[in-house]
């Protein structure tokens, strides 16, 4: 785990309908702080984002937010982080978060979380990074996504080695085990050579 100085966490600006979602966010924030691993996240004080940040800060952890100016002025920016990067756009936000982090985790969330997760997986597929990507699948929230990924393999749209770029953990200990065992995949090319 020593190679992981900061972990980027994608998660919702809502807490969701199940208490397990916030409970896992708190557990993850606390565990990262105890392990001395900093958090990089979207900088909000609401939803699972706020729960994660508050718990890590309370446990003495380092928390870095990256937030577009438009969201700061709507007063959703967390006011007590270790550091805050205010950027101009959502595109710049994602690039800065990726630059600052040594790995990626997704907790439950909505469109924004889905988009961030799938974009970072796409960047891995394209060889733009070789960092670990793990979904913390609380209460099987992401089960339909993993079914879709497997369907993509079965239907010839995803290669098995690229499907393996995103790992699935159901508990925080399993998440850390996957992060510690991560071996970068050597992805040669994402386009099927036979069709070109």
Residue 79: pLDDT band with limits 50, 70, 90: very high
**Residue 194: pLDDT band with limits 50, 70, 90:** low
Are the C-beta atoms of residues 14 and 40 closer than 8 Å to each other?
Answer: no
Range of the structural domain that residue 167 is part of = 6-181
**CATH code of residue 138:** 3.40.50.450
188 domain-assigned: no
Contact 42, 67 (CB under 8 A): yes
Look at residue 191 in the predicted model and tell me its pLDDT.
Answer: 52
159 backbone φψ class: left, alpha, beta (φ>0; ψ -120 to 50) = beta
Quote the mean pLDDT of the chain.
Answer: 93
Domain contains 57: yes
- Answering whether pTM is above 0.95, one says no
Tokens of 126: 């394209």
Q: Evaluate whether residue 195 is within a structural domain.
A: no
- On the question of pLDDT at 189 being above 80, the answer is no
Cα distance between residue 177 and residue 161, in whole Å: 20
Q: Does residue 163 sit within a domain?
A: yes
Reading the block at residue 168, the tokens are: 């699935």
In a domain, 59, yes or no: yes
Distance CA 8, CA 128 (A): 16
> Which pLDDT belongs to residue 2?
47
Q: How many helices (H) and strands (E) does the chain have?
A: 8, 7
- Is residue 159 situated within a structural domain? yes
The confidence score (pLDDT) of residue 3 equals 80
Report, as an integer, the average pLDDT of 140-153.
Answer: 98
pLDDT band at 73 (very low <50, low <70, confident <90, very high): confident
- CA 21, CA 24: separation in Å to the nearest integer? 5
Domain count, the chain: 1
Residue 193 lies in a domain: no
Asked, for residue 145, whether it belongs to a domain, the answer is: yes
CA-to-CA separations, 194 to 69, 76, 158, in angstroms, rounded: 45, 49, 14
């Amino acid at each position: 785990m020593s190679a992981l100085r900061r972990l980027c966490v994608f998660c919702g600006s809502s807490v969701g309908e199940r208490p397990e979602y916030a409970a896992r966010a708190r557990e993850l924030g606390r565990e990262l702080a105890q392990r001395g691993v900093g958090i990089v996240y979207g900088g909000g004080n609401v939803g699972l984002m706020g729960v994660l940040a508050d718990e890590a800060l309370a446990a003495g952890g380092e928390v870095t937010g990256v937030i577009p100016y438009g969201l700061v002025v709507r007063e959703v920016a967390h006011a007590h982080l270790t550091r805050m990067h205010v950027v101009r756009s959502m595109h710049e936000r994602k690039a800065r978060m990726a630059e600052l982090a040594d790995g990626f985790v997704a907790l439950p969330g909505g469109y924004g979380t889905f988009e961030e997760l799938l974009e970072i997986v796409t960047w891995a597929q394209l060889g733009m990074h070789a960092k670990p990507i793990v979904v913390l699948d609380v209460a099987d929230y992401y089960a339909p996504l993993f079914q879709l990924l497997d369907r993509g393999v079965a239907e010839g749209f995803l290669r098995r080695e690229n499907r393996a770029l995103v790992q699935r953990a159901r508990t925080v200990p399993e998440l850390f085990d996957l992060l510690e065992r991560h071996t970068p995949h050597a992805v040669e090319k994402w386009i099927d050579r036979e069709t070109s």
